[in-house]
Amino acid sequence: MKAAVLHERDGVPRYEDFPDPVAGEGEVIIEVRAVAVENVDKAVAAGTHYAGRAMMPELPAIPCFDGIGTLADGRLVGFGNPRPPYGALAERTVVSAGAFAPIPEGLDPAVATVLPSAISGMSMKVAAGLQPGESVLVQGATGVAGRLAVQVARLLGAGRVVATGRDDGQLRELGADQVINTTLNDEDLKIAYADTRTDVVVDFLWGRPTEILLHAMVPESFAFPKPLRLVQIGEVAGSELTIRADSLRTSGVEIYGAAKGLGPETMGEAYGQVLEWATNGELTFALERVPLSDIEAAWQRTDLHGKRLVVQP
């Protein structure tokens, strides 16, 4: 079969022949239909992700670890955790019999690959308890997941949506009421955050912008603080920051990880809601579709600007 094959850590996968997978006991073969290439996939391939060695213990191997495909009987499914070295970027892969779930008939396989990115935005409800009418700040809204989170906030009934990023990224067209450019100098960015305080923050950035955001939440005089629930999801702007004591002591800020509140029931509800929006067209997805044969060039692209790269064999 044809596959994208990685021969060295931090290398670029090449389109070439690879032995077909053979299903063992309790396994099934998946005919791959679409795979979203995300930053985490590149981190695993580069050997910089904490779970990279477990997910790709030996090379050569095929990158990416979930996607959409069909079973032998033609059913369309979402799958995950292929058996190494068989990743998802191939014509076929192999997974355990419990590592797939049905995809509703009629849903575009390429769109289905991006549903997890939209589900991350649901943390504003699952983790932070967003209520209709409350305001939301999407920190890092020009990326794929951030753009979807702007739409999710509006669909969940947010009364006001503020979006941040290094450019406007057509965010107002997606539902943002206000856009803050994070390339502002530190003092101007602090003022912008202070002037647009919201009830909930979903944070895909961390690093410098979030450090300034937290500093901006410190009140100028003693007062009972209005709660601000911040959900930490990503770290595009840096994995670390310094939190001043008064940023927590007097600001009303509460910080949660994106997995807060998640369990089989809440995950199922979040998935079902996102699936409904995707199926009826309320939630829109910006995709860049490429054939598997173009993987070497596609893997190195830096011009996607909020579009999700989706590879289709």
For range 232-252, the mean pLDDT: 90
Give the C-alpha distances (Å, rounded to integers) separating 130 from 112, 158, 188, 216, 308.
Answer: 25, 8, 28, 21, 26
2-114+285-312 CATH, one of 3.40.50.2020, 3.90.180.10, 3.40.50.2300, 3.20.20.70: 3.90.180.10
Q: Does domain 117-257 have CATH number 3.40.109.10?
A: no
Average pLDDT, integer, range 117-129: 95
Assess whether pLDDT exceeds 90 at residue 50: no
Q: What is the pLDDT of residue 16?
A: 98
Q: Do domains 2-114+285-312 and 117-257 have the same CATH topology?
A: no
As a whole number, mean pLDDT of residues 131-158 equals: 96
Q: Which DSSP string corresponds to 180-219?
A: EETTS-HHHHHHHHHHT--SEEEES--HHHHHHHHHHTS-
Average pLDDT of 210-232?
88
pLDDT at 312 over 70: yes
Dihedral pair phi/psi, residue 212, rounded to 5°: -65, -40
Percentage above 90 pLDDT, the chain: 75
Question: Alpha-carbon torsion 264, 259, 304, 14, what sign?
Answer: negative
Q: How many CB atoms lie within 10 A of CB 262?
A: 16
The stretch 199-208 carries a mean pLDDT of 97
Backbone angles phi, psi at 100, to 5 degrees: -150, 160
Share of the chain above pLDDT 70, in %: 98
Q: How far apart are CA 171 and CA 137, in angstroms?
A: 12
Task: Please give the pLDDT value at position 284.
Answer: 92
Quote the mean pLDDT of the chain.
93
Domain ranges of the chain: 2-114+285-312, 117-257
Answer yes or no: is pLDDT of 169 > 70.
Answer: no
pLDDT digits (tens, 9 = 90+) for 6-34: 999 889 999 999 999 999 999 999 999 99
Range ranked top by mean pLDDT from 41-55, 163-177, 198-212, 251-265 = 198-212
- Residues 252, 270, 48, 256, Cα dihedral to 10°: 10
What's the pLDDT at 176? 95
CB 183 within 8 A of CB 208: no
Instruction: Please compute the mean of the pLDDT values over residues 284-290 and round it to a whole number.
Output: 95
